[in-house]
Structure 1
Amino acid sequence: MKVTTVAQKSQIEWTDATWNPVTGCTKIGPGCDNCYAERFAERWRGTPNHPYKQGFDLTLWPSRLEQPALWRKPRMIFVNSMSDLFHKEVDRAFIDRVFDAMEKADWHVYQVLTKRSSLMQKYVHARYNGGPVPKHIWLGVSVEDAGHLSRIAHLKAINTEARFISFEPLLGPIDDVDIVGVAWAIVGGESGPGARPMHPDWARRLRDICDRDAVAFFFKQWGGARPKSGGRLLDGEEWNGFPWQIVPKIILDSLGHEHA
């Protein structure tokens, strides 16, 4: 079977590579308003033979399911950077195939991020019959403001130690939230045309909450016209927290010094 090879080394600071067995999505909240993935994909709509010739229309790519098994060197893989695996129009049978692929190529760490947290909770509970999710499959939710904290409750209800939250783009203050049991938090401002600014105190407050709740804190960017426009220093420091304690030992050993 021919495998479409479109995944690549990622420029996202907190992962190594991206893998997109699903592309395209629809908007469900303010964090989606200036979606970078939509902006990128729509540039290529109608371009013959381009992976995004269909723009940002939801598209399943069965030909990409075997791709992780072809990568022999372990890596951190961001799953569906250009979509949401738990979109309501992604058939459960296809989600099963994505999880089958992740379980098969278990020498990688997979970072699965969603805004559709209730659907993720229901799916993984059914798939593992309430038992633990494999440790190399990390499950995360995006939370852009205090109005979407229910996503964290759904995440914490999942039987896993490998939970993470992306507070990006952070569009408002989150004064207090209990994130005990979450391994990792990523905070960042919005980038691209029309980027909405992030107040420094919003990032500082989340840093303090992470310190209180023993959560690794990663400050990704201030954002602006471009992702790196504002740099990534918070109070004069880089914050590169990472939850090494949840990386399976076999994977940690193989990653070596470059990730230690």
Structure 2
Amino acid sequence: MAQKSDIEWTDATWNPVTGCTKVGPGCDNCYAERFAEHWRGIPGHPYEQGFDLTLWPSRLKQPVLWKKPRMIFVNSMSDLFHKDIDRTFIDAVFDAMELADWHAYQVLTKRSSLMRNYVRKRYHGGPVPRHIWLGVSVEDAAHASRIEHLKQINSDARFISFEPLLGPVGNVDLHGVAWAIVGGESGPRARPMDESWVRQIRDMCGRDDVAFFFKQWGGARPKSGGRLLDGEEWNGFPWQIVPEPIIRALQPEDA
């Protein structure tokens, strides 16, 4: 587990699974694949196997050992709902999240129907625990159906990552979504993001009462284009769904 994260919208990452395969244009220039493949074949390195799908049962116990409450991005280097991950291992990941319930977990997928079907079965149609946040990645209008799958999950902690945003998403109903993150692509083959696409999402978030976070314009490096939209930073965060242990942990000790 990484004890800190450079990702602006989380505190730490936890990767009980690494590696993945591509499912759409948002995967074309995958940063995780680029990073992992750099280390392929290096004996003893955590990514000696490159970006091959790999399960790490030894990492399942990590969250319960981490006593300070954190926001934890689950599988920043994979997708928990990859079709080749056995349901029993997904069960084990959810068991670990439920056990260490003083953290908040951000689970993000492009395989939205598989996530919907899994959580419906696991919780028998009842609500997902509030400290487990479920999200989908949406890169353009062609993949906006993932949002509908997300909204079919019984949860107050739904979020969307529009990153990399590769095209307009159209007029989408975001009611019932707590948080939206928007970011442009970064890396040596980064594709540009149009300002109008970002403004459309920002305005829909305002209309539908969704916290809006603008992460970056992207470019050769993540910070290349900065993160100002219309001259200001947009740091919306869904405080209404943040677990109380994390809120307490953020308060000064003498508060």
Same fold (TM over 0.5): yes
In the other structure, the counterpart of 2:101 is: 106
In the other structure, the counterpart of 2:26 is: 31
In the alignment, the residues of structure 2 paired with residue 12 and residue 193 of structure 1 have an alpha-carbon distance, to the nearest angstrom, of 19
- The Cα of 1:95 is off from its aligned counterpart by 0.2
- The Cα of 1:247 is off from its aligned counterpart by 1.1
Q: TM-score, normalised by structure 1?
A: 0.96
Poorly superposed stretches of 4+, deviation over 4 Å: none
In the alignment, the residues of structure 2 paired with residue 41 and residue 210 of structure 1 have an alpha-carbon distance, to the nearest angstrom, of 34
Structure 1 segment 47-86 matched on structure 2, within 5 A:
47-86=42-81
Structure 1 segment 1-260 matched on structure 2, within 5 A:
6-256=1-251
Question: Retained in 2: the 8 A contact 1:74–1:255?
Answer: no
Q: 1:178 to 1:133 in 2, by over 3 A?
A: same
- The Cα of 1:253 is off from its aligned counterpart by 2.0
CA RMSD, aligned part only? 1.0
- Read off the aligned partner of 2:213 and give its amino acid letter: F
- The Cα of 1:248 is off from its aligned counterpart by 2.2
In the other structure, the counterpart of 1:3 is: none
Percent identity over the alignment is 80
In the alignment, the residues of structure 2 paired with residue 230 and residue 102 of structure 1 have an alpha-carbon distance, to the nearest angstrom, of 35
In the alignment, the residues of structure 1 paired with residue 25 and residue 3 of structure 2 have an alpha-carbon distance, to the nearest angstrom, of 28
Q: 1:214 to 1:33 in 2, by over 3 A?
A: same
- Read off the aligned partner of 2:221 and give its amino acid letter: R
2:206 alignment partner, SS class: helix
- The Cα of 1:257 is off from its aligned counterpart by 5.3
2:251 alignment partner, SS class: helix
In the alignment, the residues of structure 1 paired with residue 137 and residue 238 of structure 2 have an alpha-carbon distance, to the nearest angstrom, of 17
In the alignment, the residues of structure 2 paired with residue 257 and residue 199 of structure 1 have an alpha-carbon distance, to the nearest angstrom, of 40
- Read off the aligned partner of 1:78 and give its amino acid letter: F
In the alignment, the residues of structure 2 paired with residue 151 and residue 134 of structure 1 have an alpha-carbon distance, to the nearest angstrom, of 21
In the alignment, the residues of structure 2 paired with residue 56 and residue 95 of structure 1 have an alpha-carbon distance, to the nearest angstrom, of 19
- The Cα of 1:252 is off from its aligned counterpart by 1.7
Q: TM-score, normalised by structure 2?
A: 0.98
In the alignment, the residues of structure 1 paired with residue 117 and residue 233 of structure 2 have an alpha-carbon distance, to the nearest angstrom, of 36
Flag structure 1 segments of 5+ consecutive residues without an equivalent: 1-5
